[in-house]
Amino acid sequence: MKIRLLIFLSVLLFTMTQAYAETGHIYIFVSFSMPKTSIKGWMSEAEIAHASVQIRGLVNNSFKDTIKRVGELTKDNRGGLQINPKLFEQFQINQVPAVVVTSDVSCPPNISCMAPFDVIYGDITLAYALQKIADRNDAVSAIAKNALNKLRENHAA
């Protein structure tokens, strides 16, 4: 019984690891200093590609102001934002917008991320950023291609 359970857990862990390796994670880094239309565009595309939109901190160092701004951006119930200054540090993001595609999101805090990742900067479309990363044919290209396919399927529908 214990051996079957151990085998089952090993297969489950392997399957989950394979699925995770294929999907990885996509982060989109933005700032409230960007135009609202730009942020909303990133949020909309992120929702389709299953990416997460990250901001470094609070508006005016105030939760109240931040909640108000997020409310303005999400009143159409599309997308969302996460406040995570540690991700900005881990991926050494010093300008926005930025798109990061990574195969591992378990980087230690307060150091630069050592897992394979690619970053593209500029107020471009997510599809363009993903295509550029996919074209690099490196450790995270397959993740970018999968997300790009999701975007294309959604636009074709």
What are the pLDDT tens digits along the chain (157 aa)? 434 433 433 333 333 333 444 458 899 999 999 999 999 999 999 998 999 999 999 999 999 999 899 888 888 767 788 999 999 998 999 999 999 999 865 655 555 556 789 999 998 999 999 999 999 999 899 999 999 998 888 877 6
- Cβ neighbour number for residue 66 with a 10 Å cutoff: 18
31 CB-side CA count, 13 A:
13
Q: Are 27 and 84 in contact (CB under 8 A)?
A: no
The DSSP secondary-structure symbol of 132 reads H
The Cα 41–Cα 43 span in angstroms is: 5
> In the numeric block, which tokens belong to residue 157?
């529908």
The DSSP secondary-structure symbol of 1 reads -
> In the numeric block, which tokens belong to residue 147?
């997300």
In angstroms, how far is CA 41 from the centroid of its own chain?
14
> In the numeric block, which tokens belong to residue 5?
């359970």
The pTM for the full model equals 0.78
